[in-house]
């Protein structure tokens, strides 16, 4: 005897949710097995179809992919006639309009689950994650940070966008526990967030992608920061490490924007530093900014002595003499593999107000150079990569500045090589 398809229904204030639930209780045709608020719960339940509103923040491509690996379908209730929207392009199995009646919604559910698949029995667990093929970039964590206000979030976002444009599956993680900025910068909700991912990781690494925002083609996948400082401060290095480990199984690279508070580097950031194939230290182009940057790098060295550190001097001056002075100060501090000068660019503010990426101009060009440098460093056996010439296996690469007008910059490439 075939059974009714079982549904996980995402709770919301929309009228169709209550109407559909009541219809199933009164008339059958489908059975609501669970009511969902937390995406991590959905990834731990046994059902045939998840039904969600099109504006549910947790409705992301990684979350849909995770359900598909469990042989579960996703049906979205939204405005199917309004053209592309948040649910389009996420790989969902069906989209119906908000005026769909409960009976029609039951029919849509039954159409997604053929009768032979409703014969009973519990599904197996999701398969283990498979590291994706991402072109030339090896799975790696890149930790981005620096003194507060220097612009590390903007640099991390630009790098994530550059890697994504190059065809990789990049993810940006806001692990700044004191002043997370990625959600505000991109105009995203604060749920789900880093705390959601930590809770999900406790249930198993397969559930972590459900806490991410997939913003569509040309955008990196994003994990926004903790919604409140009190919640963030109780997170441990082990918990953050579990999240990063889970994400590294699906994405390459994992770019982590870390805390930059008055104490230098927050303790949980040690998890990101321990896993980092490279560290990007962002500082301001002022005397105080350079001093604070050197102090931040020293803090990094205390937590991760073997880390390869790349410096970004943000809103850098155009004069060669001033840039040479900054390079000299960094050389005296020691332990730096390379330096990128990022000029001031009004397009950065324009992109921030539009909640978009900086698509062109001097800022974009400089961060693209940095991205290419990191890519080379992260490729096992590649130029500058671990095991390759100038690799980070215990040696130190001489400091070479890059960027327009940088002293010693190789003019034929605009970049540097160890």
Residue bearing the bigger pLDDT, 198 or 272: 198
Contact 6, 47 (CB under 8 A): yes
Report the pLDDT value the prediction gives residue 255, as an integer from 0 to 100: 94
Q: Which of 313-327, 365-379, 404-418 has the highest mean pLDDT?
A: 313-327
Location of structure tokens 């029995």: 121
Residue bearing the bigger pLDDT, 93 or 412: 93
What integer is the mean pLDDT of 316-333? Answer: 86
Architecture of the domain made up of 141-402: 3-Layer(aba) Sandwich (3.40)
SS3 115: helix
Give the pLDDT band of residue 265 (cuts 50, 70, 90). Answer: low
Measured in whole angstroms, the distance separating CA 289 from the mean position of its chain's CA atoms is 27
87 pLDDT more than 60: no
- Quick one: fold of 6-118? Rossmann fold (3.40.50)
Residues 259, 263, 265: CA angle, nearest 5 degrees = 40
98 pLDDT more than 60: yes
SS3 341: strand
Q: How far apart are CA 354 and CA 363, in angstroms?
A: 16
SS3 280: strand
Give the pLDDT band of residue 382 (cuts 50, 70, 90). Answer: very low
Condensed to tens digits (0 to 9), the pLDDT of residues 117-137 reads: 433 333 333 323 333 333 333
What integer is the mean pLDDT of 337-352? Answer: 91
103 pLDDT more than 90: yes
- Alpha carbon separation from 111 to 73, 104, 203 (Å, rounded): 11, 10, 31
SS3 5: coil
What integer is the mean pLDDT of 231-249? Answer: 87
- Alpha carbon separation from 28 to 4, 122, 227 (Å, rounded): 8, 21, 40
Q: What is the mean pLDDT of the chain?
A: 78
195 pLDDT more than 80: yes
The pTM for the full model equals 0.64
Residues 133, 139, 145: CA angle, nearest 5 degrees = 140
Contact 207, 47 (CB under 8 A): no
Residues of the chain with CATH 3.40.50.300: 141-402
Beta bridge partners of 331: none
> Parallel, antiparallel, or unpaired: how do β-strands 141-145 and 94-96 relate?
unpaired
Residues of the chain with CATH 3.40.50.2300: 6-118
Report the pLDDT value the prediction gives residue 410, as an integer from 0 to 100: 28
Give the pLDDT band of residue 8 (cuts 50, 70, 90). Answer: very high
């Amino acid at each position: 005897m075939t059974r009714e398809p079982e549904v996980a229904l995402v709770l919301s204030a929309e009228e169709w949710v209550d109407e559909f639930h009541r219809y199933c209780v009164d008339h059958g045709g489908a059975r609501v097995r669970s009511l969902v608020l937390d995406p991590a719960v959905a990834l731990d339940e046994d059902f045939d179809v998840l039904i969600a509103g099109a504006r549910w923040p947790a409705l992301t491509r990684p979350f849909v992919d995770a359900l598909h690996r469990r042989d579960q379908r996703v049906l979205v209730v939204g405005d199917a006639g309004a053209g592309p929207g948040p649910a389009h392009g996420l790989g969902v199995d069906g989209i119906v309009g908000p005026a769909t009646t409960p009976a029609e919604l039951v029919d849509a559910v039954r159409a997604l689950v053929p009768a032979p698949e409703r014969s009973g029995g519990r599904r197996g667990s999701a398969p283990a994650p498979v590291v994706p093929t991402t072109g030339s970039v090896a799975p790696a964590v890149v930790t981005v940070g620096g003194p507060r206000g220097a612009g590390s979030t903007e640099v991390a976002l630009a790098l994530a966008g550059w890697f994504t444009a190059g065809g990789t599956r990049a993810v940006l993680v806001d692990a700044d526990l004191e002043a997370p900025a990625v959600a505000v910068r991109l105009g995203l909700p604060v749920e789900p967030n880093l705390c959601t991912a930590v809770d999900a990781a406790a249930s198993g690494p397969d559930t972590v992608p459900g806490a991410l925002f997939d913003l569509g083609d040309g955008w990196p996948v994003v994990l926004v920061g903790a919604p409140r400082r009190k919640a963030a401060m109780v997170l441990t290095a082990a918990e953050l490490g579990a999240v990063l480990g889970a994400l590294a199984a699906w994405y390459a690279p994992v770019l982590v924007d870390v805390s930059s508070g008055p104490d230098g580097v927050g303790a949980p950031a040690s998890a990101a530093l321990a896993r980092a194939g490279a560290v990007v230290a962002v500082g301001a182009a002022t005397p105080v900014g350079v001093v604070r940057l050197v102090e931040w790098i020293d803090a990094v060295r205390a937590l991760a002595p073997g880390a390869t550190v790349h410096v970004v001097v943000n809103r850098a001056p155009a004069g060669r003499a001033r840039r040479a002075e900054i390079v000299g100060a960094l050389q005296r501090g020691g332990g730096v593999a390379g330096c990128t000068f990022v000029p001031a660019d009004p397009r950065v503010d324009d992109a921030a107000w539009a909640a978009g990426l900086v698509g062109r101009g001097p800022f974009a060009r400089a961060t693209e150079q940095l991205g290419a440098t990191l890519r080379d460093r992260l490729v096992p056996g590649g130029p500058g990569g671990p095991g390759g010439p100038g690799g980070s296996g215990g040696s130190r690469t001489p400091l070479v500045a890059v960027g327009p007008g940088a002293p010693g910059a190789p003019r034929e490439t605009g970049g540097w090589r160890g």
